[in-house]
Structure 1
Amino acid sequence: MRVFTRRIVVVGTGYVGLTTGACLASLGHRVVCSDVDAAKIRRLSRASVDILEPGLEELVRDGLDSGRLTFVVASASVVAEAEMVFLCVPTPMGADGGADLAAVESVTREIRDQLPHGCVLVMKSTVPVGTSARIAELVRRSDVAVVSNPEFLREGSAVRDFLRPDRIVVGSAGQDAAERVAALYARLGAPTVLVDAASAEMVKYAANCFLATKLSYVNALAELCERSGANIADVTAGMGHDRRVGRSFLRPGPGWGGSCLPKDTHALMRISEAVGFDFALLRAAISSNVRQRERMVDKIAEACGNGRANSLAGVRIGVLGLTFKAGTDDLRDSPALAVARLLVERGAELVAYDPGLRADDPHLEGIVTLVDDAYQAAKSAAGLVLLTDWQEFRTLDWPRLAAVLDGPVVVDTRNQLDPEVVRRAGVSWHGVGHPPIRA
């Protein structure tokens, strides 16, 4: 496939939009990123990136230095010379659980008359099946094609995922428009899947909801291992060698979360209900995920609580990690934060450390006291709880932690730690899907 340099406008400089714009510029395209937040545009124009994402700030700086990447305050006229316009605006969960398309539709109405003849409008945001058709109706122009090109970016590895993708999915009723979008990624050498727009929109939901279901399954399996005396690490190691199963998404934890899986599972439930399909399996996966967070609280209460009732009232607990995954500063639908809230509801006093967070984060007010390191979090605590799998937690000084803990116990909800290292330091280890290892 021949590679062309295109003039591209990316509307929205959130997680997806900024990564998309910076990466497309790195592939040689000329990219203008627009956003309604003027202060944010000023920061980005200085290569100041607020998102904690490895490699992203460097790509932004390189794009600015080369002149291939620019940032402007959003206006309808910004699309006037674009060959392609990527819509990367938020589609948050609405009150009914479905995706809220207000921002997508508002931007479409604003720019439709300014789109040049032959322009391709690319839907990058995650949207329900049928949205591309709806946007085409709003555009009301036969000379402008609407194409679905879903993103598959994981926080903490978004740049790598964009530049080394498993596949490129492009959906459109017109072959020419689909091939023009696919050609943007030709230098990546990834498999390209050309489908209709509705199928492309479904691919994103289908993939994320499958992963959520897989995680709910392994969390349920971990509980079964605890009750039956099996070891989840050994069980998943045996499962992972089967190519039909694979090794990914087989680690138990405090539940799944983040900016995508909760939103997408609920959105697919709404899509299913709209066409009269009872997606019982997906509903069970969502319910199991809620229960997993509550189960982690029960596990913590059993290890750190007072009296026969395992009361957490007034119990000081040190918390390691609050972001939804390591390598990010994102607290959106974080299972770690959800567990922390449940602990507070049961009366616990939390002191936490997370390498990606600042003490003034408004999401933490009234929930935890944030400190500068793990040892401060452990000081005088009845126990430690690891909720996010930051790599640095594997190399903590456990004799030092044991010396400051009031209760020599750690509840490792990610099975991140080496139980023998913890045990030798005089601290009991409680994992997920394993029998406890006593000090």
Structure 2
Amino acid sequence: MNITVIGTGYVGLVTGTCFSEMGNNVYCIDIDEEKIKSLKDGIIPIYEQHLEGMVIKNHNKGNLIFTTALEEGLSKSDICFIAVGTPMASDGCADLSVVFQVAKNIGELMSHDLIIVTKSTVPVGTGDKIEKIIQKELDKRGVNYNFQMVSNPEFLKEGTAVEDSMRPDRVIIGSEDEKTINMMKELYAPYVKNHDRFIIMDIRSAEMSKYASNAMLATRISFMNEIANICEKVGADVNKVRLGVGSDKRIGYSFLYAGCGYGGSCFPKDVSALIKTGEIAGYSPKILNEVENVNNNQKMVLVNKIREKFGENLSNLSFGIWGLSFKPGTDDMREAPSVVIINELLKSGASIKAYDPKACEVAENIFKNNENIEFCNSKYDVLNDSNSLIIVTEWNEFKSPDFNEIHDRLKIKLYLMVEINLTRNY
């Protein structure tokens, strides 16, 4: 098939690349000329396992085309995916301005019948609004092309996005047009050997499914963080509690790890957007409000431990940090707990030495020109002259450290762990 994917962010780039991997001709469109140039040169703007090699291979083969020319992609495509960002607006709602601008551009430029698929995470009812915008532009032009709207939410996990795209656990197709549904099934057939994984529903239900899934996972994380905080107060071990809870087949072990709270590009904005969707519809989602509150408070847990140990004034103290990305396997630092922790320590006068296997460059851009932060090339280098070690992100290389090395290098033998929220003195 010939496919256009509008947006070369996390979702768009992974989706377009994986479609090209199966032999489709894919036009990846972005208005950022520098990004498109970099992609053509094989420079990938994000870290995701296996992605770089697939991008270079398929671009060199000629079936993964990077361009700023939307008209070129639309003129040669059967299906157009909208995969642009929907960040959190100042009021907590999803900012759909780019989605609606893309819809307008499609209406201005499409030159034949087209299936238009919303891959971006959007609130319920957005598909209807996109349809009206496109139709308005077609009416202005005096043309009458047939187009079908589809909601096809993504369920990619950062760090395993390529694997999730190539072997999805389900493919949700929001459409009520039989011909369109069959075409979407044909597109996804190489990835889904078990046809039970196709879930067909109306567009609004498909849009809601994405938000509901992320809200459920975020709820599990905040719930377990509350349990961890109670465990610390009463002398229980949250890791053992997790084993007891997760062994119930109705619950399972996924997303039951205690930590500094969730972050990234999805959970924070999607929980917030779902809360706003409920409020706009006249319903106050109390559980989701508390999920958000627990998460915001959880990002302060390690900061509060440091202040309990060293006091409010952290001047002349240095802290080593392992892990900056919001989760292992990615360089994404959007809404990362590490940003909150570092900012709070800096406000209290501390200096920081930090290391992350993939996110140091991203962090340098976030904290640029701050002379109180040093980014190190080795996890052990952050320990030199540091008063405490703080582990924020559970990368594998942090799980079995050399404790003798830690002991020898740290000024004060204080080791704060994200996973069980306990302070250990060595």
The TM-score with structure 1 as length reference comes to 0.90
Q: CA deviation at 1:310?
A: 6.1
Instruction: Give 1:35's aligned residue.
Output: 30
Does 2:61 match 1:71? no
**Structure 1 residue 225: deviation in Å?**
0.6
Q: Which consecutive unaligned segments of at least 5 residues does structure 1 have?
A: 1-5, 415-430
- Distance, in Å, in 1 between the alignment partners of 2:65 and 2:125 is 32
1:329 to 328, 331, 342: 331
Deviations 1:163-203 (A, max 9, x none): 11110011023232123123211112250111000000001
Of 73, 86, 89, the residue aligned with 1:91 is 86
* Alpha-carbon distance between aligned partners in 2 of 1:244 and 1:311, rounded to the nearest angstrom: 47
Q: Contact 2:221–2:262 at 8 Å: present in 1 too?
A: yes
Q: Give percent identity, aligned residues only.
A: 36
Give the match for residue 223 of structure 1.
Answer: 229
Which of the numbers 167, 170, 173 marks the counterpart of 1:170? 173
CA distance in 2, matches of 1:177, 1:104: 21
Counterpart of 1:112 (choices 107, 119, 125) is 107
Counterpart of 1:270? 276
Matched, 1:409 2:414: yes
Q: Greater CA deviation, 64-73 or 260-269?
A: 64-73
Query: Is the 1:216–1:289 contact (alpha carbons within 8 Å) kept by the matching residues of 2?
Result: yes
- 1:10: which partner in 2? 5
Q: Retained in 1: the 8 A contact 2:321–2:382?
A: yes
Which of 347, 350, 355 is matched with 2:349 structurally?
347
The DSSP-based 3-state class of the residue aligned with 1:17 is: helix
Aligned residues of 2:172 and 2:201 also touching (Cα < 8 A): yes
Equivalent position SS for 1:169: strand
CA contact (8 A) 1:11 1:74 kept: no
Give the equivalent residue in structure 2 for 1:143.
146
Listed as ranges, the matches of 1:276-355 within 5 Å are 276-303=282-309, 305=310, 309=311, 311-355=313-357
Is 1:378 matched up with 2:380?
A: no
Q: Give a deviation string over 1:31-59, Cα, whole Å, max 9, x none.
A: 11111112221221232212110000111
Distance 2:6 2:31 in 1: 9
Q: Which residue of 2 aligns with 1:20?
A: 15
Report what 1:417 is aligned to: none
Contact 1:82/1:115 (8 A) holds in 2: no
Write the distance in 1 (CA, Å) between the matches of 2:336 and 2:128: 33
Give the whole-Å Cα distance in 2 for the aligned partners of 1:313 and 1:231.
33
Q: Which residue of 1 aligns with 2:205?
A: 199
1:243 to partner: Cα distance: 1.2
Determine whether 1:126 maps to 2:128: no
1:214 matched to 2:220? The reply is: yes
Cα contact 2:75–2:112 (8 A) shared by 1: no
Matching of residues 233-272 of structure 1 within 5 Å? 233-272=239-278
Are the counterparts in 1 of residues 118 and 153 from structure 2 also a CA contact under 8 Å? yes
My pick for the range that moved more, 315-324 or 213-222, is 315-324
- Aligned residue pairs total 412
Using the alignment, how far apart are the partners of 1:221 and 1:56 within structure 2? 37
Q: Give the deviation of 1:394 after TM superposition.
A: 2.2
Per the TM alignment, residue 63 of structure 1 is displaced from its structure 2 partner at its CA by 1.1
**Structure 2 vs 1, CA of residues 113 and 437 (structure 1 numbering), >3 Å: closer, same or farther?**
closer
Unmatched 5+ residue regions in structure 2? 136-143
The Cα shift of 1:438 comes to: 4.2
Structure 1: distance between partners of 2:73 and 2:113: 16
Contact 1:83 1:116 in 2 (8 A): no
1:67 Cα deviation from its structure 2 partner: 2.2
Superposed CA offset, 1:49-93 (max 9, x none): 121100001111221233221111133343012100011111111
CA RMSD across the alignment: 1.7
- Is the Cα contact below 8 Å between 1:254 and 1:339 reproduced in 2? no
Cα pair distance change 1:71/1:310, threshold 3 Å: closer
Counterpart contact for 1:216–1:288, Cα < 8 Å: yes
Q: CA shift at 1:135, angstroms?
A: 0.6
| Mapped contact 2:300–2:340 kept (Cα < 8 A) | no
Q: Matches of 1:60 and 1:437 in 2, distance apart? A: 44
Q: CA 1:407 to 1:33, structure 2 compared with 1: closer, same or farther past 3 Å?
A: same
What SS does the corresponding residue of 1:361 show, helix, strand or coil?
helix
